[in-house]
Amino acid sequence: MRASRPVILQGAIADWPAMRKWSLDYFAREFGDREVPIVREKDGSHYSPGSGLHYERIRFGDYCELLADGKPHDLYLTVRVHEVVPELFADTRRPVYAAGARWARSRFWMGGPDAKGPLHRDLPENLYAQIGGRKRFLLLERRLTRMVHRHSFRSGVPNYSPVDAEDPDLARFPRFRGAPLLCADLEPGDLLYIPSLWWHQARSLTTSFAVNLWWLKGPKVAVARLAELYMRLRRLNL
Ligand SMILES: O=C(O)CCC(=O)C(=O)O
C-alpha cells in the first residue's frame, strides 16, 4: 500500500464461507424473489456522462436463470451490498488491511462472460475478492492520468474515461498510445488490491461473481463523503 502498487493475494479468501456457498443456485434459492437494480449496456457503454449508469430492475432469480446458459448478456449486476443483499456480509470477512477504516463501502459484482465495465478510478483503497469464475483487470498507474482522456469535471464523471483499455481507438484517444497497462487475471479465491486512484477496467472471462471493499482512513474520508453528497445532489447514479 505504501508503494501504491497493485497486488494479487492468491488464496487469501479461501476460508470465507462465500467460497463454498455462493453459486447461481444459491443466489436463486436465497434471494430469487428480490427485485434488484441492474445495469444494461447501451451503444457499447454501461453509463452516460451526466446521468451515470443505465439502471433497470430485474428479479434476482430471473437474472440467475439468464446467466445459467453461460452465454454473454448485456446486463451486469453491480449493487451496493448493504442496500440490496446485506445478508452476503455474513459470508465474507473484513480483510486485516482495512482494520481501523473510518469509511467503507462494498459492492457485489455478477455477470456473464464478457461482462465489462468502463475504465475508471476510485479514491478509496480497494480489495476485490473473486469468489466464482475468472475475471481480467487492466490497471494503469494514477500518475498517468493524462493518458486516459478522462471526462471533464462538468460531466460529473471525471473519474471515468471514454477509452476502452482493451481495444483503444487511438485515432480518437492518441494520448493512450503505449499506456503501460498491468494485467491481473483473477481466479476464484484471489484478492486483488487496487491502490487509491489507479485507473482500472474489468471484464469477466467466465460467468463471474465477486465482492469488493473500498475503504479510507484519515483526511480522505471527508473527500469521499463530499463526493457522495455531490452525486446525490446531481442525481448521478453510479
Ligand atoms: O468488477 C468490475 O466489473 C469492476 C470492479 C471495480 O471497478 C471496482 O471494484 O472498483
Asked whether residue 187 is domain-assigned, the answer is yes
Confidence category of residue 48, pLDDT binned at 50, 70, 90 = confident
Question: How many domains, the chain?
Answer: 1
Asked whether residue 160 is domain-assigned, the answer is no
Asked whether residue 153 is domain-assigned, the answer is no
Looking from the CA of residue 117, the nearest atom of ligand 1 is 3
Taking only Cα atoms into account, the Rg of the chain, rounded to an integer number of angstroms, comes to 17
Rounded Cα distance between 91 and 72, Å, is 27
Question: Taking a C-beta distance cutoff of 8 angstroms, is the pair 198, 165 a contact?
Answer: no
- Give 216's strand partners: 103
Question: For atom 4 of ligand 1, which residue has the closest CA?
Answer: 202
Least confident of 13-22, 34-43, 192-201: 34-43
Asked whether residue 164 is domain-assigned, the answer is no
Q: Is the CB of 117 under 6 A from ligand 1?
A: yes
Asked whether residue 150 is domain-assigned, the answer is no
pTM: 0.95
pLDDT tens for each residue of 149-186: 999 988 888 999 999 999 999 999 999 999 999 999 99
State residue 47's pLDDT score: 86
Considering Cα of 79, then 84, then 90, then 91, what sign does the dihedral take? negative
Amino acid at 135: K
Looking from the CA of residue 212, the nearest atom of ligand 1 is 9
CATH of the domain at 196: 2.60.120.650
Mean pLDDT, residues 209-236: 91
Question: For atom 2 of ligand 1, which residue has the closest CA?
Answer: 202
Q: Is the CB of 111 under 6 A from ligand 1?
A: no
State residue 98's pLDDT score: 93
Looking at every residue in the chain, the average pLDDT score rounds to: 95
- Pick from 105, 131, 119: which is nearest to 46 by CA? 119
To the nearest whole percent, how much of the chain has pLDDT over 90? 86
Mean pLDDT, residues 195-209: 97
Asked whether residue 113 is domain-assigned, the answer is yes
Distance 202 CA to ligand 1 centre (A): 6
Residue with the three cell numbers 447501451: 42
Where do the H-state alpha helices sit in the chain?
Answer: 17-21, 24-31, 60-67, 81-84, 220-233
Asked whether residue 161 is domain-assigned, the answer is no
* For residue 3, pLDDT beyond 90: yes
* For residue 115, pLDDT beyond 90: yes
Asked whether residue 167 is domain-assigned, the answer is no
Domain that holds residue 222: 7-144+177-233
* For residue 44, pLDDT beyond 90: no
Least confident of 16-20, 45-49, 61-65, 150-154: 45-49
